Amino acid sequence: MKKKKVKKKSIVVLIIIILIIIVEIVNPIKLYNKYQLKNLNYQEASIENILKNNFKKEVMDLKYNKTLDIVFSSKDFNSKNFDVYKNIEYIELNDFTKNINKLIEKGYKAEEINYILKSATNESLKAFLEKDYQENVSKFLEYDFSILSNLDRYIKYQDEHNIDKELVVIYVNIGLDSNYYTNTNKVESFSFDMLVNKYNELDKDYVPESLVDVPSDYGKDQKLNETVLKAFIKMSEDCKASTGNKILVRSGYRSYETQENTYNSYLKTYGKNYAENYVAHPGFSEHQTGLAIDIKAESNEVFAKSKESKWVYENAYKYGFILRYKKEYEDITGINYESWHFRYVGEEIAKYIYEKDITYEEYYIRFLNKK
């Protein structure tokens, strides 16, 4: 009888031990916590670290946070930096967590880190991390179009010009802190919003897409991009309906060689100063894109004084064209006022530029420029 009691007691103890082991292994509370975090779309590796470091409550309060998901799954996670991590916007960059840790060590706050990351590339961030704390981060990198690698240039440009910091960022990004035709960028692919100017050049053998002949009743011996030509013909016909006269293509697409001949001709006839102000160097002309048109009036009047021009200035944006080189923006475009030179950018962009009265350079920097 005694043996049976001992045996029964042993079995009970064994069962209790087994149950403890099962509970420890299965751990319904842990399973529930995992379920909650998984339901918020956190990765398995992140969930393990969140629970291990007792951040479940804080994470649940924040709902899903891409940055936290990345840092908690990283071997570089540092629990001391949690309060900064949770306020960082995720940017797809190499060594994301490690670099945040380095920025924190240098004394940057969450807001500053966000500015740095959004304006960075992998290369520029690597170079930036070699520097000591930079106090001008919030001043110049707060704009969506700021570029981290340009920070030193922003500082220098404002010291020299003392203008609004937003304009500093725009002008430096355009390239206005450098001489024309220096520190240039290669434009390699065709697009209706491409920027070609004294800082952005085309290769010698570049030929734009879909070049077609301009019908002789709209311009003699000229070519344009097909989409641009259709828009121009519609604009020309509407101009005629309103003013009695069409507008014509005086000059459309020019090859690199043609632009070279044009520049050299102006150089020989009018001198270097005139040529530099009115004619782009070969490779730097919008005419090589097939998107630019020098317009003339069918009435044969000087274009700026013709009734056709008044109509065009007021309506060109409706067809996707902008007056490219205005007098008041010569310092930005680098080209003297040309009343006849229009550029196709598409209706949406043209409308914005017309209504805001800005240059295409400024629009491009704000919305289209890549780091």
Q: What are the catalytic residues?
A: 338
- How large is the angle between the packed helices 151-161 and 165-174, nearest 10 degrees? 120
Reduced to 3 states (helix: H, G, I; strand: E, B; else coil), residue 323 is strand
d(CA 211, CA 219) in angstroms, rounded, equals 15
Residue 63 identity: K
d(CA 198, CA 179) in angstroms, rounded, equals 9
Cα three-residue angle 342-347-352, rounded to 5 degrees: 85
Nearest CA among 201, 247, 203, 210 for reference residue 228:
210
For every residue of 160-184, which 3-state class applies, written as one string? Answer: HHCCCHHHHHHHHHHCCCCCCCCCC
Q: For residue 54, with 0-12 CB atoms within 10 Å meaning exposed, 13-18 middle and 19 or more buried, which class applies?
A: exposed
357's CB contacts (< 8 A; 6+ apart) are none
d(CA 90, CA 46) in angstroms, rounded, equals 15
274's CB contacts (< 8 A; 6+ apart) are 266
Alpha-helical (H) ranges within the chain are: 2-26, 28-39, 44-52, 56-62, 66-72, 82-85, 96-105, 110-118, 122-128, 137-140, 151-161, 165-174, 226-243, 256-270, 272-278, 307-315, 330-333, 347-356, 360-367
Reduced to 3 states (helix: H, G, I; strand: E, B; else coil), residue 301 is coil
Pairing assessment for the beta strands 247-251 and 223-225 based on DSSP bridges = unpaired
d(CA 229, CA 227) in angstroms, rounded, equals 5
